Amino acid sequence: MIVVDGGEAADRAACRRWVLQMSSGAHGELHDLTFMTVAEVAAIMRVSKMTVYRLVHSGELPSVRVGRSFRVPARAVNEYLRGAFDSTG
């Protein structure tokens, strides 16, 4: 989970670090990253788009801003959900 205090610039820097960290793994290349829309994340998590936006804005779910929309790395969604299962049971 990435929680960053310090505004939008700090959020962007934290997301960049996360993306670089994830891409430096065993198979890690930036072109291997898959990004999802907020609507796709909401459908997978079975929550509303507003819930996903809250997670993105709070820094709990890393994202990249593309124009006026957000894209979330699929790996970040998997890690978030895995963490949710770990903390509940």
- pLDDT tens-place string over residues 43-86: 999 999 999 999 999 999 999 999 999 999 999 999 999 988 77
1-37 confidence digits (pLDDT tens): 343 334 555 666 666 676 666 656 555 566 678 999 9
Which residue range forms the structural domain that includes residue 79? 8-88
Asked if residue 54 is part of any domain, the answer here is: yes
> Where residue 34 sits, what CATH number does that domain have?
1.10.1660
pTM of the entire predicted model: 0.66
Asked if residue 2 is part of any domain, the answer here is: no
State how many domains the chain has.
1
Q: How large is the angle between the packed helices 74-88 and 8-23, nearest 10 degrees?
A: 90
CA distances from 25 to 18, 34, 49 (A): 11, 15, 30
